[in-house]
Amino acid sequence: MKVEFIENTPTAIRFNISGVDVDFVNTLRRIIISRVKTFAIDKVTFYINTSSMFDEYIAHRIGLIPLITPTEGYDEKDEILFNLDMEGPGTVYSKDLISTDKNVRVAFDDIPIIKLAEGQRIKLDGKAIMGNGSKSAKFQPGLATYEKKDEQNYEFYIETFGQMSAREILNKALEIIEEDLKATEKELK
């Protein structure tokens, strides 16, 4: 196996990988989109919503906002609370979601959630949990694709949605593959 990086930035990596078959690159792609864990707001409790939008619609939008997910120190048992209390007129942005944990926060401040008119108010709490893309697309850390160049030679591309760097996504996916192989080896003994 040989790997040669073409692009390597915090938001995207592109590399040629040779000496492998399609099964390996497709496994890597599928692990990235379905098993790398990230935080996402999963439950939203509304206390006040006098906006023109239903609670469920706003909760869905909030759930899709990428949250910075540290690669160490957190697991599936952790819950991070977010608070939002805004009154119109004005636009409510992702930066208005205030986290109770300084390490887990919105990845991008300027994602619009809802526009409030004069006198409209929204007050809510959101609970972020860790999950993976097999549970819901809101937990996917990014996108992963590959293109076959020739026999056993592929160009692989990873782009982050903002929860962690593209390189961290790759490293986490490789750790998952390694853990799965060790578990399989243990079962075969």
Q: Please give the angle made by the CA atoms of 130, 168 and 132, to the nearest 5 degrees.
A: 25
pLDDT of residue 151 exceeding 90: no
pLDDT of residue 160 exceeding 90: yes
When pLDDT is cut at 50, 70 and 90, the band that residue 123 belongs to is very high
Residue 2 buriedness (CB in 10 A; 0-12 / 13-18 / 19+): exposed
pTM over 0.75: yes
Q: What is the mean pLDDT of residues 119-135?
A: 97
> Per-residue b/e over 29-46, b at no fewer than 16 CB within 10 Å?
bebbbbbbbbbbbbebeb
pLDDT averaged over the chain?
A: 97
Rounded-to-5 percentages of helix, strand, coil across the chain: 25, 40, 35
Q: What percent of the chain has pLDDT over 70?
A: 100
Give tens-digit pLDDT for 37-81.
Answer: 999 999 999 999 999 999 999 999 999 999 999 999 999 999 999
When pLDDT is cut at 50, 70 and 90, the band that residue 189 belongs to is confident
